[in-house]
Amino acid sequence: MGEECPDNFLDEDGDCEGLIEGKDISIDSAPAMDDAGLLLEGQFNDDRITGIWKVESFATSPPLGKFEAVKKR
């Protein structure tokens, strides 16, 4: 069958990197992987974060969609 996933790949305790600079935020779901980690890039706007998402591998994809995260009240 297929290859096994690396340790922590599907584990909720796996590696993830984030960077905040002013209102800009970047989150990489698989910084040590060379194949298909999810990359979120956005900005803080009051009570939400809006931005784009793409897939990062040997070559990073163009933006594949938009996301919005809203603070729950």
Q: In terms of residue numbers, what domain contains 38? A: 17-70
* pLDDT-wise least confident of 3-7, 21-25, 64-68: 3-7
Q: How many domains does the chain have?
A: 1
Q: Has residue 65 been placed in a domain?
A: yes
Concatenate the DSSP letters of all residues of 3-63 into one string: PPPPTTSS-TTS--EEEEETTEEEEES-TT-SS-EEEEEEEEETTEEEEEEEEESSSPPPP
- Does 9 reside within a domain? no
Q: Note whether residue 6 is domain-resident.
A: no
- DSSP 3-state of 1: coil
Q: Is residue 1 part of a domain?
A: no
Q: Is residue 50 part of a domain?
A: yes
Q: How does residue 10 score in pLDDT terms, banded at 50, 70 and 90?
A: low
Structural domain contains residue 7: no
* Residue-wise pLDDT tens digits, 17-49: 899 999 999 998 887 766 678 899 999 998 999
Is 10 within the bounds of a domain? Answer: no
